[in-house]
Amino acid sequence: MNIVENEICIRTLIDDDFPLMLKWLTDERVLEFYGGRDKKYTLESLKKHYTEPWEDEVFRVIIEYNNVPIGYGQIYKMYDELYTDYHYPKTDEIVYGMDQFIGEPNYWSKGIGTRYIKLIFEFLKKERNANAVILDPHKNNPRAIRAYQKSGFRIIEDLPEHELHEGKKEDCYLMEYRYDDETIMGRIIEINARSEKIFNKLKDEK
């Protein structure tokens, strides 16, 4: 994968990225929300974890801002076990999951994550004809939840004691972005614009 838009580049994870990944995933500020501060990664364990085979299609990517690597993301096609874990109905729809982190705290709260998600939405629609994208943030991470809602995700399910994090089963939300919601909203905007034109025309005729 290689997506470039203005300052943001999303590219495939390569072997040379692992020393930087190790830096990020030994930073307690990052681990508090991604992985857990009880994780003890080494370069070898990171390589093994982030290169292991996936059940279905997966994209492992590095997020760059102004040519500086600042974060990691993975986008994966849903498979049977995940449908069960998420209590998500399996249909003929094409559904992807995603998770990501910004590994450089100086780049937090700058809207970069929102822009990254938008680019992934566009890629999945254009290249994979996706119907929906889901993710599962911890309930105790309101900053991430707000960012996801701003990107168009909505909460559709409670996932109690869903993920083991720092020795405790954390409650999560299942959040979903649907491309048909985007279509419906576009149609509403179009209808409202047409109605306004008709109203203004009638007003002028009077």
How confident is the model over 48-74, as pLDDT tens digits?
Answer: 999 988 878 999 999 999 999 999 999
Average pLDDT, the chain: 88
CATH number of the CATH domain containing 65: 3.40.630.30
CB 112 within 8 A of CB 64: no
Residue with tokens 């040379």: 16
> Region 171-192: what's the mean pLDDT?
70
pTM assigned to the model: 0.84
- Write the DSSP string, 102-113: ES-GGGTTSSHH
pLDDT value for 184? 46
Per-residue pLDDT band for 191 (boundaries 50, 70, 90) equals very low
Task: Tell me which of 63-72, 158-167, 168-177, 179-188 is least confident.
Answer: 179-188
d(CA 185, CA 181): 6
> Could you read off the pLDDT of 97-123 as tens digits, one per residue?
999 999 999 999 899 999 999 999 999
| Chain mean position to CA 59 | 12
Tally of domains within the chain: 1
pLDDT value for 53? 84
Candidates 130, 133, 131, 141; CA nearest to 173 is 141
- Tell me the residue range of the domain where 150 lies: 2-205
